[in-house]
Each structure stands twice: as C-alpha cells, then as structure tokens.
Amino acid sequence: MNETDAAAAESGRSKAAASDQLLARTIREESARIVSALTGWLGSLDLAEESVAEAIEEAVRQWRTRGVPPNPGGWLTQAARHNAIDRLRREKRYREKLALLTDPLEAAPLIVAGEPDERLPLLFGCCHPALSPDAQLALTLRAICGLTTAQIARATLAPESTVAQRIVRAKRKIGAAGIPLRIPEGSERAERLNIVLTVISVMYSEAHLVAGGDAAADRDLADDALWLARVVAHELPREAEAQAQGLLALLLFHRAREGARAVDGELVLLADQDRARWDRGLIDEAQAVLETAAMLRRPGRWQLHAAIAACHSDTRDGSHTDWLQVLTLYDMLLAYDYSPIVRLNRTVALAEVDGPQAALDEVDVLRRTLTGYHLWHAVRARMLRHLGRRDEAMAEDLCALELTANDAERRLLEARVDR
C-alpha cells in the first residue's frame, strides 16, 4: 500500500469511527424510552429489553453502511416490536399472549403521572439494591445506554458470556421477584438515588482504569456516564436533584482535566498537569452546576466530592491549592462517606496542612483494609519520601507496582521507582 492509499484508508476509518459515535449517541437517546414503552406493552422487561437489544444490533449493522434513517426512534421501535412478536411466536400459547397485548399506542404508559421522564423509573429499577452492583451496572449500560453485550464486556473487562449471564439473571430476577420499575418514595428514594449515582460514577471510572489498557482508550463509557448524569440531573424532580447535580459537576470537572490527565497514553498526576490543557468551558459548566446544587442547600456526598474537585480546578498551578479548604471539605465528606478510599484521599490534603508524619499515621491506620490496593502503597510511598525515608518509600512503590493492573498507572509508578 502506498502512502496515498494508507491516508485514504485512514480517513475511511476515521469516518466510520465518527459514524459509530453518531450511532452511539442516537441509540443512547432512544434506547431507554423504547425499553420502557415496550415493557409497559409486553408486561416483561426481559422480553422488551431482549427485543430492543436485538433491534440495536440490527441498527448498528444497517446504519453503519446505509446511514441513520430520518426517524431512528421510530425505526428502532418498529424493529423491536417485530422482534418481540417473533419471540412470542416461538413460545407456546403465543396466541393467548398476543391476544393479551393491546395496541402499543393505546397501552397504558408505564410511567406514573408527575414523573417527568419515562427513562428514570426504568433506571431506578435497574439500580435496585436487590441486584448485585455488577448487575446494576451491566443492566444500566444495556437497557438505559443501549450498549451491546460485547461493548459492555470490552468496557468492563469481563468475558462476554459472564456479562450476558449477568444481564439475563438480573432481568429474570426483576420479573420473578417482582422488583418494581419506579422511582421509590419517601426515605427509600434518597437511598436509591445514591445507588443510581454510584452506578454512574463507576461507569465513568471503569472507562479510565481499564486493566491492560492505555489511559486515552475507552472514552466511550465516560461519555455515556456524563450523558446519564445529565439526564438524571435535568429530569429529576427538584427536591431530589441536589445530589444528581453534584455528581454531574464532579464528572464535568474530571472530564475537563482529561486532556491533561493522559498525555500520549501516560498518566500525569494532578499536581504535574499542564493546566493549559484543561477544558475551561467544561470547568465553567462544572462550577455553574455546582453553584446550582449548592443553592438547593442540601449538601451531600457527591456535592462534596465535586467541591473538592473544584478546589483543584481553581488554581493556576498545583502550588496555589487551598489545602485547608480541601481538608475541611474532606472532613465534611467523611460524615456521608466514611469509606477507606475517601479516608486515604484525605491524607493527601492532611499532609499539606499538618505535615507528612500526621498523614503517614492516618495512612497506617488504613493498612489492614487497603493493603491490597495499589494506591494505598503509592500514597504511603509519597509520605515516606517527604519524610526522607527513601528506601522504605521505594519498597512501597514496588508494592504498588506489583498490585496495579493498568498500563498507564504502572508506567507512572515505574518512573518513580527508577528515579
């Protein structure tokens, strides 16, 4: 192949990639609405979701070559309905079942009046605590974001058969155990929203810490997570939205820094990031969202995470960070989230305010819970280095290196050990 051919092939590839992005966006906008409507029509999430997933696979194949039709939602709905009827035909007693179906246009909507977006009851059902966290994530990616099983498998680094089984089991459980697809009321609502937001945040971070992958790869899940955070933040009733806005702000801050976080597949620590590479537009948006959330006067876990991210985005370079404010925010965060990871992250701010010895003492308290976590060793190494205990620091960095599965993080740690 000569150079012109290679360039043509390259541009052909990039066009296909662009249209894949368009496909992903189109499908994402339609998927949950169709699953939701079909579930109401068929009375079975399992059947509805399977039929929509099949329609999405057909759409990806056809649209890639023929382009997206003028009414993609209508196309997908028709295809999914055909698939559902085909599936019912294969079952015994299909005539009885078909007779029970009303015309989808006349079918009672699944949504209860007053709920603004029909995707949310489905999303809140997919994130039911009676489903395992893995299943919540996989089902949300499929039923809400419209990812194929193969895409989920690649993004979450699980074998495709495992993902497929997880989704089937979760859907069957929703049907068999009577898990309602709705936004719960009362005190359950806040608890469930927290699971929904956790799933979205995991979706975002899965895209960044792909074992064996490069830091710049797999941006898709992050994009899906950001999209879903927007849907939830915008469509949720006002009294519940403070936390959702908090998560949206947090993800926007992370997204804004992404260009500086990974340079040529290498991870760059926050303190060393070239701030000119930060996306100012996204940071401004994140700050605006965070201010909206703060005005609701309902502080919580996600807002505090976002407020900490905001502190890091305020300054021109790492040396001007207001660490006392960061530490204060971490102390407030502990009231909502006393997880070992948050406590570990807090030690970094503590080191800046009270010095490395105080921070090291805190890090050591977490030894038993976090000894298998590579970043615990990396943080401990950092404190030891600040205290001039270089040999011990080196040993901790080696531990961290051994424990990390991500290529980019591994190279970052290797660079430290070499130093």
Partner 1 sequence: MKYVIMFTTTPELDAAVSPEHAEQVYRRTYDWFGTHSEVMTESGAQLQPVTTATTVSYGGDAPVVADGPFSEAKEVIGGFQVIDVPDLDAAIAVVKTWPLLELPGVSVEIRPIIVY
**Stretch of 180-188, 232-240, 280-288, 314-322 contacting partner 1, by CB under 8 A:** 180-188
Residue 180 is a binding residue for partner 1 (CB under 8 A): yes
Q: What is the closest distance, in whole angstroms, from the C-beta atom of residue 112 to partner 1 in the complex?
A: 13
Q: Determine which residue in the list 8, 18, 98, 177 makes contact with partner 1, applying CB under 8 A.
A: 177
Kindly state whether residue 171 participates in binding partner 1, applying the rule CB under 8 A: no
Question: Is residue 190 a contact point for partner 1 (CB under 8 A)?
Answer: no
Is 199 a binding residue for partner 1 by CB under 8 A? The answer is no
Residue 188 in the binding site for partner 1 (CB under 8 A): yes
**Residue 418 CB, nearest approach to partner 1 (Å):** 50
- Whose Cβ is closer to partner 1: residue 159's or residue 178's? 178
Single residue of 179, 307, 311, 327 touching partner 1 by CB under 8 A: 179
Nearer to partner 1 (CB atom), residue 18 or residue 130: 130
Binders of partner 1 among residues 348 to 387 (CB under 8 A) are: none
Per CB under 8 A, the segment of 94-102, 158-166, 176-184, 249-257 that binds partner 1 is 176-184
- Give the other-Cβ count within 10 Å of 409's Cβ: 22
Q: 130-169: which residues touch partner 1 (CB under 8 A)?
A: 130
Write out the binding residues for partner 1, residues 58-117 only, by CB under 8 A. none
Q: How many residues bind partner 1 (CB under 8 A)?
A: 9
Residue closer to partner 1 (CB basis): 8 or 177: 177
Nearer of residues 130 and 335 to partner 1, judged by Cβ: 130
**176 sits near partner 1 (criterion: CB under 8 A):** yes
178 binds partner 1 (CB under 8 A): yes
Restricted to residues 296-325, the positions that interact with partner 1 (CB under 8 A) are none
Compute the least distance from the CB of residue 37 to partner 1, in Å. 20
CB 176, min distance to partner 1, A: 6
Which positions touch partner 1 (CB under 8 A)?
128, 130, 176-180, 184, 188
